[in-house]
């Protein structure tokens, strides 16, 4: 699975930061654009790229970007 593209898309279109800004330890709530629309946008790109449906509450419960990536990976392996 191409997580590089997912990360790039997430940076560019969801939280709108420069490419390569995010690290696994980045705290999502510290990002200015991390809001309810960002949660929906994350679900949209996961659906587009991997055809998986993420649970909104689970995304909201993620503290760091790394946790979010893990959720997507888990969903993929479970699907």
Partner 1 sequence: MIKSYIKSIEYYVPKKIEYNDQNEKLTKKIGINQINVVEEETATDLAFMAAEKLFESGICEREHIDFIIFCTQSPDYFLPTSACLLQARLELPTKCGAFDYNLGCSGYVYGLSLAKGLIETGQAENILLLTGDTYSKYVNKKDQSVKVLFGDAGSATLISNVNANEDYLGPFVFGTDGTGKENLIVRNGGAREPYTEEALMELEDRYGNLRSNANLYMNGPEVFNFTLREVPPAFFELLEKTGMAIQDYDRFVFHQANKFMLEHLRLKLKIPEEKFTVCLENYGNTVSSTIPIALKNEMEQGNLDDNNKLLLLGFGVGYSWAGCKMVWKNS
Give the binding range for partner 1 (CB under 8 A) out of 1-9, 17-25, 57-65, 68-76: 57-65
Distance (Å, whole) CA 44 – CA 5: 14
Cβ contacts of 26 within 8 Å, gap of 6 or more: 64, 65, 66
What's the min distance (Å) between Cβ of 55 and partner 1?
A: 7
Q: For 33, which DSSP code?
A: T
Among positions 1, 12, 33, 70, the unique one binding partner 1 when judged by CB under 8 A: 33
Give the binding range for partner 1 (CB under 8 A) out of 3-11, 49-57, 62-70, 71-79: 49-57
- Enter the tokens of residue 24: 């696994």
* Residue 44 binds to partner 1 (criterion: CB under 8 A): yes
């Amino acid at each position: 699975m191409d997580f590089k593209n997912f990360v790039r898309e997430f940076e560019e279109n969801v939280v709108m930061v420069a490419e390569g800004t995010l690290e696994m330890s980045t705290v999502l709530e510290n990002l200015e654009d991390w809001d309810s629309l960002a949660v929906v946008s994350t679900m949209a790109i996961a659906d587009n790229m991997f055809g998986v449906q993420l649970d909104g509450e689970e995304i909201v419960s993620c503290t760091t970007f790394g946790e979010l990536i893990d959720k997507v990976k888990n969903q993929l392996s479970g699907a």
